[in-house]
């Protein structure tokens, strides 16, 4: 009886191995995954349209705030992302934009388009300063910008980002309010620079 059981086990083992091999062979013939890396490499070889757009952009940009905001609906709260950024060419053009979307990348793209629509072009002196004192109020933010030859750029908060991307140097900026809202501070700085618009 022992010999019979051994022969049955070997028979089942012998029968199982060719079936497994056949399954592996069939899977290899059917599956198109063998050409996966070559096809993926060919497809991902070039840069996408977003990368080209970013590479060709003539403007520098800096995010000054990104928040998750909620809107209360009948079924609950709906979450979106709000992005605020400053866009400038460091040659006198600058703008602040705000964008909202369900995705951060889309919110940043909308903010970029908004900043491009609201750009201003200011006239600078030969040493990249401003001609006279300017001040402005936006909501609760009050900003004053004064020319100060030889001191470089002295500013804080998002006002510094606005002045940097506008290409302004040798100025001193002062926040005359206690507002910590970076978006309002940036918009107040743009409103002050608007008085120097060409």
Give residue 186's pLDDT.
Answer: 96
Please indicate, yes or no, whether residues 133 and 61 belong to a single structural domain of this protein.
Answer: yes
Please indicate, yes or no, whether residues 78 and 39 belong to a single structural domain of this protein.
Answer: no
CA 77 to chain centre: 25
The DSSP letter of residue 197 is B
Residue 64: inside a domain, yes or no?
Answer: yes
CA 116 to chain centre: 15
Please indicate, yes or no, whether residues 118 and 138 belong to a single structural domain of this protein.
Answer: yes
Residue 126: inside a domain, yes or no?
Answer: yes
The upper half-sphere exposure of residue 175, i.e. CA atoms within 13 Å in the direction of its Cβ, equals 20
Please indicate, yes or no, whether residues 160 and 63 belong to a single structural domain of this protein.
Answer: yes
Is 129 in a helix, a strand, or coil? coil
Look up the domain containing 24 and give its range.
2-43
Q: Is the pLDDT of residue 14 over 70?
A: no
Is 61 in a helix, a strand, or coil? strand
The DSSP letter of residue 34 is G
The model's pTM:
0.69
Q: Structural domain tally of the chain? A: 2
Please indicate, yes or no, whether residues 35 and 118 belong to a single structural domain of this protein.
Answer: no
Please indicate, yes or no, whether residues 15 and 67 belong to a single structural domain of this protein.
Answer: no
pLDDT digits (tens, 9 = 90+) for 152-165: 999 988 999 999 99
- Indicate the average pLDDT of the chain: 81
Please indicate, yes or no, whether residues 26 and 87 belong to a single structural domain of this protein.
Answer: no
Residue 85: inside a domain, yes or no?
Answer: yes
How far lies 31's CA from each of 41, 123, 131, 152, in Å? 18, 65, 71, 65
Please indicate, yes or no, whether residues 168 and 93 belong to a single structural domain of this protein.
Answer: yes
> Average pLDDT for residues 12-22, to the nearest whole number?
46
Rounded Cα–Cα distance for residues 132 and 136 (Å): 13
Residue 48: inside a domain, yes or no?
Answer: no
Residue 119: inside a domain, yes or no?
Answer: yes
Please indicate, yes or no, whether residues 35 and 130 belong to a single structural domain of this protein.
Answer: no
Please indicate, yes or no, whether residues 39 and 61 belong to a single structural domain of this protein.
Answer: no
Question: CATH code at 130?
Answer: 3.30.160.20
- The three-state DSSP-derived secondary structure of 84-122 is EEEEECCCCEEEEEEEEECCHHHHHHHHHHHHHHCCEEE
79: β partners: 70
Model confidence at 20, pLDDT cuts 50, 70, 90, reads very low
Give residue 58's pLDDT.
Answer: 84
pLDDT digits (tens, 9 = 90+) for 99-144: 999 999 999 999 999 999 999 999 998 889 999 999 999 999 999 9
């Amino acid at each position: 009886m022992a010999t019979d059981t051994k022969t049955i086990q070997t028979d089942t083992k012998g029968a199982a191995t060719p079936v497994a091999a056949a399954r592996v062979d069939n899977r290899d013939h059917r599956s198109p995954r063998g050409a996966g890396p070559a096809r993926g490499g060919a497809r991902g070889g070039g840069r996408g349209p977003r990368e080209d757009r970013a590479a060709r952009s003539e403007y520098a940009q800096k995010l000054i705030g990104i928040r998750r905001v909620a809107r209360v609906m009948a079924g609950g709260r709906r979450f979106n992302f709000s992005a605020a950024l400053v866009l400038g060419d460091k040659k006198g053009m600058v703008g602040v934009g705000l964008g909202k979307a369900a995705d951060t990348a889309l919110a940043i793209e909308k903010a970029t388009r908004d900043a491009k629509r609201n750009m201003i072009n200011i006239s600078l002196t030969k040493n990249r300063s401003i001609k006279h004192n300017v001040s402005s109020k936006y909501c609760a933010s009050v900003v004053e910008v004064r020319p100060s030859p030889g001191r470089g750029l002295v500013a804080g908060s998002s006002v510094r980002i606005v002045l940097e991307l506008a290409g302004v140097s040798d100025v001193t900026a002062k926040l005359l309010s206690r507002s910590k809202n970076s978006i309002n501070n940036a918009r107040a700085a743009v409103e002050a620079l608007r008085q120097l618009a060409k």
